[in-house]
């Protein structure tokens, strides 16, 4: 080994770093400019620069403080946006209602996207064309949500191209002032819907020739392929499902009068915050627990307005990026959906399912 060859620590990221320190020292440990930096001192420089910096805070001199939920999910916060606060305390429900509903639906769409075929050979265009859809109907008025769900169910039945089923939505927390809603309640709900998610996927991927399609049931049911299709259902790859059949395929459609959005907000509003989470972070954590379940292909959101206060309902508006169709309805006893708006809903849902 040559006398001017230096020993390098395996912790040194790049051997070229020695040139960043200026000219190498002479045999007596001095640089050409007269400064002293012997091999031990020089190794210490390299060793120190190869290690991550130490963050010193008033609370700890050895490690950085833990990141808050807000910092860890900064990107998600951008999805929801920011709020102007007047400094007065607000409940979780009040905070969440102040955020635009498309932002919340978009965030949920990132957590639970619609079903995508993963089986080998099942992603062919002809196979995808026979896939059904999951439609979630959400909104700020439960009665209006139910009304639109029932109308859409009847509309799809009349088209004779679909086999719609109204599924029982996620169970809302029991309204009991004597009993506090807990995380265990919510986790039990999530566990239940991991199982129902598989049933929904099986339902929308099982198609039937029109002659074999069972009569749709307009009553609210719990989604179960076994219950709705009974023993007449056969796997998509069976001979009766041959794409060469002359009979048109019927698309199965699941209608959910409220789904992940309503459930996550309802439980986040009832489960008390007993840690450092803000109301927004609290809801986002609750929403994230739906990860691994199937999300809706399309969300219909019913937005109520009060004509007595001078509010005017807008025309239905489709946001394809969010996969959300907004529908307005006048609130109050005499409030109703406009006929033209309902026709638009039927058209958009049909086009979305076919696409």
pLDDT in tens, 101-131: 999 999 999 999 999 866 555 555 555 567 8
- Nearest of 31, 133, 50 to residue 355 by alpha carbon: 133
| Local structure of residue 226 (DSSP, 8 states) | H
Residue with tokens 């959300």: 324
What span, in angstroms and rounded, lies between the C-alpha atoms of 325 and 308? 25
- In the chain, % of residues over pLDDT 90: 45
Is the pLDDT at 244 greater than 80, yes or no? no
229 CB-near residues (< 8 Å, 6+ apart): 203, 206, 214
Predicted local confidence at residue 97, as pLDDT? 86
User: CB–CB of 252/163 below 8 Å?
Assistant: yes
Question: Residue 228 pLDDT > 50, yes or no?
Answer: no
Structure tokens at 50: 């190869």
CA 341 to chain centre: 27
Predicted confidence at residue 335, as pLDDT, reads: 83
Band of pLDDT at residue 351, cut at 50, 70 and 90: very high
Distance of CA 180 to the CA centre of its chain: 26
**The pair of three-digit structure tokens given for residue 41, joined into one six-digit string:** 């001192």
pLDDT over 60 at 320, yes or no = yes
Confidence at 156, pLDDT banded by 50, 70, 90: very high
**All residues at 6 or more sequence positions from 196 whose CB lies less than 8 Å from its CB, including other chains:** 222, 223
Q: Is the pLDDT of residue 269 over 60?
A: yes
Look up residue 231 and give its two tokens.
Answer: 């023993």
Backbone angles phi, psi at 335, to 5 degrees: -70, 140
Say if pTM beats, i.e. exceeds, 0.75: no
CATH architecture type of domain 93-354: 3-Layer(aba) Sandwich (3.40)
Q: Which residue has the higher pLDDT, 134 or 87?
A: 134
Are residues 257 and 149 in contact, defined by beta-carbon separation less than 8 angstroms?
A: yes
Q: What is the pLDDT of residue 153?
A: 98
- The alpha-helical segments, DSSP class H, found in the chain are 39-50, 69-72, 74-80, 92-97, 101-111, 125-129, 142-159, 183-204, 225-229, 260-270, 279-288, 339-354
Query: Where are the chain's structural domains?
Result: 1-61, 93-354
Identify which has the larger pLDDT, 334 or 216: 334
Buried b (16+ CB within 10 A) or exposed e, 234-258: eebeeeebeeeeeeebbbbbbbbbb
308: its two tokens: 């007595």
Q: Evaluate if residue 25 carries a pLDDT over 60.
A: no
pLDDT-derived band of residue 23, with 50, 70 and 90 as boundaries? Answer: low
Please state, rounded to an integer, the average pLDDT across all residues of the chain: 74
The pLDDT value recorded for residue 297 is 96
Place of tokens 């696409």: 355
In this structure, the dihedral spanned by the alpha carbons of residues 218, 223, 228 and 233, taken in order and rounded to 10 degrees, is: 140
Supply φ then ψ for residue 297, to 5 degrees. -75, -35
Residue with the bigger pLDDT between 35 and 300: it is 300
What pLDDT score was predicted for residue 186? 96
DSSP label at residue 51: S
More confident residue, 67 or 328: 328
The per-residue pLDDT for range 90-104, each reduced to its tens digit, is: 778 888 888 899 999
User: What tokens were used for 343?
Assistant: 């026709």
Q: CA-to-CA distance for 316 and 295, rounded, in angstroms?
A: 22
């Amino acid at each position: 080994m040559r006398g001017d060859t230096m020993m390098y620590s395996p912790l040194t990221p790049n051997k070229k770093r020695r040139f960043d320190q200026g000219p190498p020292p002479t045999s007596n440990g001095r640089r050409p400019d007269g400064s002293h930096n012997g091999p031990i001192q020089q190794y210490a420089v390299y060793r120190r620069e190869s290690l991550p910096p130490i963050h010193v805070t008033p609370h700890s001199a050895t490690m950085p403080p833990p990141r808050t939920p807000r910092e860890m999910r900064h990107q998600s916060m951008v999805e929801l946006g920011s709020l102007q606060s007047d400094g007065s305390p607000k409940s979780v429900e009040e905070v969440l209602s102040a955020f635009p509903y498309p932002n919340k639906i978009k965030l949920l769409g990132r957590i639970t996207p619609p079903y995508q075929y993963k089986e080998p050979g099942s992603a062919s265009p002809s196979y995808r064309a026979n896939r059904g859809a999951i439609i979630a109907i959400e909104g700020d008025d439960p009665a209006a949500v139910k009304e639109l769900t029932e109308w859409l169910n009847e509309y799809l039945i009349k088209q004779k191209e679909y086999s719609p089923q109204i599924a029982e939505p996620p169970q809302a927390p029991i309204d009991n002032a004597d009993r506090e809603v807990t995380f265990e309640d919510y986790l039990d709900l999530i566990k239940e819907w991991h199982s129902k998610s598989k049933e929904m996927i099986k339902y929308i991927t099982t198609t039937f020739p029109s002659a074999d399609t069972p009569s749709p049931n307009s009553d609210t049911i719990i989604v179960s392929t076994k219950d709705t299709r009974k023993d007449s259902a056969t796997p998509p790859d069976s001979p009766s499902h041959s794409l060469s059949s002359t009979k048109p395929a019927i698309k199965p459609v699941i209608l959910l009068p409220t789904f992940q959005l309503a459930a996550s907000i309802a439980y986040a509003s009832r489960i008390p915050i007993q840690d450092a989470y803000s109301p927004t972070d609290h809801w986002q954590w609750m929403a994230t627990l739906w990860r691994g379940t199937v999300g809706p292909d399309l969300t219909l959101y019913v937005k109520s307005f009060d004509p007595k206060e001078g509010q005017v309902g807008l025309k239905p508006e489709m946001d394809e990026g969010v996969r959300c169709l907004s529908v307005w309805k006048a609130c109050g006893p005499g409030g109703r959906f406009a006929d033209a708006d309902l026709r638009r809903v039927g058209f958009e849902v049909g086009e979305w399912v076919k696409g």
